[in-house]
Amino acid sequence: MAETLSSSPKIWQHRNRNQQLLSWLIWLLGTALFVVCWQKVSESTTWFFVWDAPRIAADIGSRMIPPRWSYINELWEPLWDTLNIATIGTMMAIVMAVPVAFLAARNTTPSTRFVRPIALLIIVSSRSINSLIWSLLLVSIIGPGVVAGIVAISLRSIGFIAKLLYEAIEEIDKNQVEAVTAAGGSRLQVLVYGIVPQILPAFAGISVFRWDINIRESTVLGLVGAGGIGLQLNASLNVLAWPQVTLILILILLAVIFSEWVSAKVRHAII
């Protein structure tokens, strides 16, 4: 037996001949597509502007320095507005997203056939519209200002929080839920004792993560009139006040670093 084995060794290949051919074909097609697209893009580009770009960039860069530090006194209030838009928007989103998540999770929804699709629809529609577009809509509905920004941020965040949370709910250990059920707990008690403790770390992580994202998003909402520091950014850009733009960008950077630091601390404390 041993001899027959050694005379004709069994061959093992990661891919067989057909799979190998297919993989080559896919690479070939991909490369061809890339070349074609490159040509199309190239035809519709005014290359003069592109070649000119470094010079323009250097020109603007030189105008941006030094930042106009005295402008900062006009920025404290918009910055405070921006933080408020992000924070209040996130809190409102959490309040609305938690019930949606429980209705969307397969193991907690009252009905997979009717309620779950509605919850999923809420999640998808909230996620598919960018907060900038939400603000555009809301500025024309409730008028310009901080409120439009808060509502835009919260509408955008519902989907994000609800989606991640319902995935966490679906991944819980069902033994713990069964144990509470077997002891005679009601549906609400099962929720509070069997499910909530299991998803609490995920919930905290998701909320802080979204708050962190919202700080960044709320800095641009002012561009369309929804309040915050973006309003100043837009104004400065319009009058080509480059030293002010620099200062605003520095401030946004600091705000984002601050939010990252807070969310890292919170996540560390909870998990």
Partner 1 sequence: MLEIKNLVKKYNTGDLAINGVDLKVEKGQVMALIGPSGAGKSTLIRCVNRLENPTSGEIWLNGENIVKMRSRKLRRARRNMGMIFQEYALVERLTVMENVLSGRLGYVGFWRSFLRKFPQSDVNAAFGLLNKVGLDAMVNKRADELSGGQRQRVGIARALIQNPDILLVDEPTASLDPKTSRQIMRLITELCEENQLAAIINIHDVALAQMYAERIVGLRDGKIVYDGSPDDLKPDVLTEIYGKEDWTAVRKRKPKKDQSEDDITASEEHLAEMQ
Q: Which residues bind partner 1 (CB under 8 A)?
A: 173, 175-176, 178-186, 188-189, 192-194, 197-198, 200-201
Q: How far is the CB of 108 from partner 1 (least distance, A)?
A: 16
Q: DSSP assignment of 206-268, as one string?
A: HHHHHHHHHHHHHHHHGGGTSSSHHHHHHHHHHTT-HHHHHHHHHHHHHHHHHHHHHHHHHHH
Instruction: Assess contact for 119 and 179: CB atoms under 8 A.
Output: no
Q: How far is the CB of 156 from partner 1 (least distance, A)?
A: 30
Q: How far is the CB of 271 from partner 1 (least distance, A)?
A: 11
Nearer to partner 1, 190 or 233 (CB): 190
Report which of 112, 94, 92 is spatially closest to residue 103, judged by C-alpha positions.
112
Q: How far is the CB of 97 from partner 1 (least distance, A)?
A: 21
Instruction: Assess contact for 104 and 165: CB atoms under 8 A.
Output: no
Report which of 141, 4, 157, 42 is spatially closest to residue 93, judged by C-alpha positions.
157
Nearer to partner 1, 61 or 197 (CB): 197
How far is it, in rounded angstroms, from Cα 66 to Cα 63? 8
Nearer to partner 1, 181 or 234 (CB): 181
How far is it, in rounded angstroms, from Cα 204 to Cα 77? 29
Nearer to partner 1, 204 or 249 (CB): 204
Nearer to partner 1, 109 or 135 (CB): 109
Q: How far is the CB of 117 from partner 1 (least distance, A)?
A: 22
